[in-house]
A = this chain, B = another copy of it.
Amino acid sequence: MNPHHTHQSLSLAIRNRITAGEWPPGTVMPSETDLAQEYQCARATMNRALQVLADSGLIERKRRAGTRVMPLPSSLAKIEIPIIRHEIEKRGAAFGHSILMRETAPAPEKVARQLHLRKGTRALHLKTLYQSDQEPFAYEDRWVNIQAVPAISTAPLDEVSPNEWLVRDVPYSSGYVSFSASAAGSEEAAALGTRPGAALFTVSRTTWLANRFITTVTLSYRPGYQLQTKL
């Protein structure tokens, strides 16, 4: 049999039949076996094609119950959170950063909770400004669990930004992320060259690696920043 059907082309074909309304939302589609026969391909191939659609949230698959078109599709967006330096350099600008503050201090309760530290444990507190062509780009307020990453105490953070240093030293960590809008505080406003109260796009992350909580960070971008994606 000629492999004229790739799982990609099958995926696309099925997707089109769904968007064309052939199987309305909530209805059950033909089984893998039937579809494979219709397209004259192996069931494994059709299986893979359907898995792609299931991953993208278009259909739902259950054993015995069959394949069902999702009744009310909620949009799934895949967002890539770039390393700031890459983001700036991609736009052809020069990247720079400056450490505005670096101290070891007892973690405030909120931070201690996020990093699973006992209240009052000392942690590294960093405030950093990221610049694009000398212009302020983003303001970062970060706490690092020294017990998990002792090496950061002696890291040359003036040369390698905290962001990148952590990515290099503790890659592949897991984390929580939240996106929100916040009003600029006086410090952020001064650093970003805007007025206090300005609307800033804010990304907060807490990351860990194998049960060791590494860092919690709040990143505020300069006014006008947008995070874009396709769905």
Q: Mark A18-41, 1 if CB is under 8 A from B, else 0.
A: 110000010000000000000000
State whether B200 touches A73 (Cβ < 8 A): no
Per the bound structure, the CA–CA distance linking A198 and B82 in Å amounts to 27
Residue of B nearest to A76 (CB): B80
Residues 68-108 of A contacting B (Cβ, < 8 Å) = 72-83, 86
- Given A72-B167, A209-B19: A201 in contact with B177 (beta carbons within 8 A): no
A side interface size, CB within 8 A: 52
Chain B residues near A25 (CB-CB < 8 A): 168, 171
Task: Choose from B74, B182, B209, B231 the contact partner of A181 (Cβ within 8 Å).
Answer: B182
Pick from A114-122, A128-136, A150-158, A220-228 the stretch touching chain B. Answer: A220-228
A11 at interface by CB-CB < 8 Å? no
Chain B residues near A210 (CB-CB < 8 A): 19
A2 at interface by CB-CB < 8 Å? no
Residues 210-230 of A contacting B (Cβ, < 8 Å) = 210, 223-230
Chain B residues near A230 (CB-CB < 8 A): 174-177
Residue of B nearest to A172 (CB): B19
Per the bound structure, the CA–CA distance linking A229 and B86 in Å amounts to 23
State whether B179 touches A73 (Cβ < 8 A): no
A189 at interface by CB-CB < 8 Å? no
Chain B residues near A58 (CB-CB < 8 A): 172
Residues 169-217 of A contacting B (Cβ, < 8 Å) = 171-183, 197-202, 209-210
Residue of B nearest to A58 (CB): B172
Chain B residues near A80 (CB-CB < 8 A): 57, 74-77
- Given A199-B183, A227-B178: A74 in contact with B82 (beta carbons within 8 A): yes
State whether A75 touches B228 (Cβ < 8 A): no
Per the bound structure, the CA–CA distance linking A73 and B86 in Å amounts to 11
Chain B residues near A72 (CB-CB < 8 A): 83, 86, 164, 167-168, 171
Other 15 A-B pairs with CB < 8 A, given A74-B83, A179-B226, A180-B225: A72-B167, A72-B171, A74-B80, A77-B81, A174-B231, A176-B230, A176-B231, A177-B229, A177-B230, A179-B228, A181-B181, A181-B182, A181-B223, A181-B225, A199-B199
